[in-house]
Amino acid sequence: MGEEKLKLEDLLGGVQRNEETDRIDFVAIIGGGVMGQGIAQTVSAAGLEVVIIEKDEESVEHSKESLKASMEREIARWAMTQSEMKSILSRIKWTTDRNDIPECDLIIEAVDEDYELKKRIFKELDEIAKPQTIFISNTSTLSLTKIAEVTKRRDKIIGMHFLNPVPKVPLVELVRALETSDKTVEIIKRFAARIGKTPVEVYEYPGFVTTRAIVPLLNEAMYILLEGIASAKDIDTAMKLGYNLPMGPLEMADTMGLDEVLTWMETLWHSLGEPRYRACPILRKLVRERKLGKKTGEGFFKYDSEGKIIS
């Protein structure tokens, strides 16, 4: 009887230890741009340690200052306190050194929507990360299955498509690649809940749900502007008041970043061949002129340093 009890305790202890290995406490984020910063802030606010890995020291400093400035704007709006900002920043480390990666429980890639770049990053990470570490891509349009093919952990590759601004949008799309395991999905569901996000499972397909649904709206609003039917201000006012949207489609595009929106449209256009995804010429013109929206101070509208439209 005593021997049976011992075996049962050992078994239970084994289960507890296995669950403990699934716990995520240290997260690496590859890329410290707008999305990487937002993800880092969200993860840190949940009490987890974060390291942002950037390509060079200039990018490190820019990412640091940008996140701090963003949080200071939140303090000015009474949406955050100084102590909250200090606490969040104390758990975020910036570096260009990948030596921290072997210690991480989870790695989130948040670089540009460039398939070759993402593939190269995943291949390099696969060689230095712990075998049990899960890799996440924040891609909104690219194939996770193709990205996973360059790794030896295809069952541990999953997508988490965060929406901007990450700290404020309560949704995240969980995207399964062809070989993503059920265990990986469950672990990341728990992680999403821990950082305050509601996960929605989607199948791998260009644009998933949110990007595929929003892009035609943004594009059509741009064509309405191009055709001179209404001004940018009136288009956004009509959509905000008529459909109870928090912001109009043109300001929404400016918030997302017009270069990002153009990349999404081009990917969906080439992948699906649907005319509704063919980018409006006015979008291409603004991107050529480097008027990329709020991050550059001008897009469809002009913005002040706090990201408010200058009337």
Nearest to 43 by CA among 129, 107, 100: 107
- Strands 157-162, 171-176: pairing is antiparallel
The reply to whether 261 falls in a domain is yes
Q: How many domains does the chain have?
A: 2
Residues 71 and 171 in one domain: yes
Nearest to 162 by CA among 206, 115, 119, 108: 108
Q: With contact defined as beta carbons under 8 Å apart, do 107 and 135 qualify? A: yes
**Residues in the chain, total:** 311
Residue 287 has pLDDT above 50, yes or no: yes
Residues 252 and 129 in one domain: no
Residues 216 and 195 in one domain: no
Q: What is the pLDDT of residues 70-106, one digit of tens each?
A: 999 899 889 899 999 999 999 999 999 988 899 999 9
């990341």: which residue's tokens? Answer: 188
Residue 156 has pLDDT above 50, yes or no: yes
DSSP H helices, the chain, are 2-21, 34-45, 57-76, 82-90, 115-128, 144-148, 182-194, 210-226, 232-243, 249-256, 258-272, 281-288
CATH number at residue 137: 3.40.50.720
Residues 61 and 138 in one domain: yes
The reply to whether 250 falls in a domain is yes
Residues 183 and 112 in one domain: yes
pTM reported for the whole predicted model: 0.82
Contacts of 123 (CB under 8 A, 6+ apart): 150, 151
Rounded CA separation 101/28 (Å): 7
pLDDT band at residue 9 using 50, 70 and 90 as cut-offs:
very low
Tokens of 14: 């084994």
Q: What is the pLDDT of residues 262-282, one digit of tens each?
A: 999 999 999 999 999 999 999
Q: Domain ends where: 203, 236, 259?
A: 203
Domain that holds residue 247: 211-288
The reply to whether 8 falls in a domain is no
Q: What is the pLDDT of residues 171-228, one digit of tens each?
A: 999 999 999 999 999 999 999 999 999 999 998 888 889 999 999 999 999 999 999 9
